Amino acid sequence: MTIYNPSNLPKNDNLSRFAFVVDVADEIFIRKGKMIAFYGQLQFESLGSSLLDILVKESFNSPLYINNFIVAKGRGQLILGDNGNDIACYDLEDANMTIKASHLLGFSKNIICQESTMPGFLTLMGNGKLIASSNGPVHFLDLPCRVDEQAILGWADCPSPSYRYDYAHVTNVLSAVGALTNITLSGEEKQIDFSGQGTVLIQSSEFGSGSTLANILSQLPFLNKSELGSLNAFVAQNLKA
């Protein structure tokens, strides 16, 4: 069994499949609630505070998600985790990558982050590192291809995709009833269609909204009154948006 300390922790690399160590020497955006430990002199500040207005103006152009992230600054080693999901780091070099917003754990301040034209995704552009989680190892596909929307993690250097419906399934009686009652179609009936040049990132198994909701509900009994109030305000804000 390895016992870690500041001298033997990896730098900007995985501690395991499920944890990643960020060697912080400057400001970095990280998702709230994903820090599991740190060494050194680090401070964490919410976005939108007066000291961070310039940083937000230059890098974080995603008002819908601004309350999901904080800025870590100072010098130290920051360990990130995401409920036992796999974690990987991606290097951008004058490139762009779009990632499912719920899986984006962090990115360096010189990367520009903005909302994608596809709901629920964030596009990151420029030079730097981004850290994202996935439900199992990530696989990379060349274009053109079609992907189950629940299995997709993101895409890089390619046009925004579109939805593709298989009407042989949609016109099926059960599928038609499901569509009329707002039941989500499966990956065999509804896919995301990619064309052109670029790369698609897929997760090893599907990770649907039901799994996310179940995970959130399982954590509610452990929240205090103040945290529940913050959650209520966040839900109200997102419903309004």
The model's pLDDT over 96-105, given as tens digits with 9 standing for 90+, comes to: 999 999 999 9
Residue 5 forms part of a structural domain: no
CA distances from 3 to 7, 8, 18, 79 (A): 11, 9, 17, 14
Q: Please check whether residues 130 and 17 belong to one and the same domain.
A: yes
pLDDT above 90 for 47: no
Burial of 95 (0-12, 13-18, 19+ CB in 10 A): middle
Is 1 contained in some domain?
no
> Which pLDDT tens digit goes with each residue over 15-32?
999 999 999 998 899 999
- 3-class DSSP assignment, residue 53: helix
Confidence class for position 6, pLDDT limits 50, 70, 90: very high
pLDDT in tens, 152-178: 999 998 877 888 876 665 555 445 455
Out of 134, 150, 174, a domain closes at: 134
User: Lowest mean pLDDT: which of 91-95, 176-180, 193-197?
Assistant: 176-180
On whether residue 34 sits in a domain, the answer given is: yes
CB 157 within 8 A of CB 197: yes
Task: Assess whether 114 and 223 both reside in one domain.
Answer: no
Q: What is the pTM of this model?
A: 0.76
Residue 173 belongs to what domain range? 140-240
The torsion angles phi and psi of 151, rounded to 5 degrees, stand at -95, -15
Same domain for 57 and 162? no
Give the whole-number percent of the chain exceeding pLDDT 90. 51
Judge whether 22 and 42 are in contact, CB under 8 Å.
no
Comparing 87-96, 129-138, 145-154, 210-219, the range with the smallest average pLDDT is 210-219
| Residue 97 sits in the same domain as residue 153 | no
Residue bearing tokens 């997102």: 238
Map tokens 């016992």 to a residue.
3
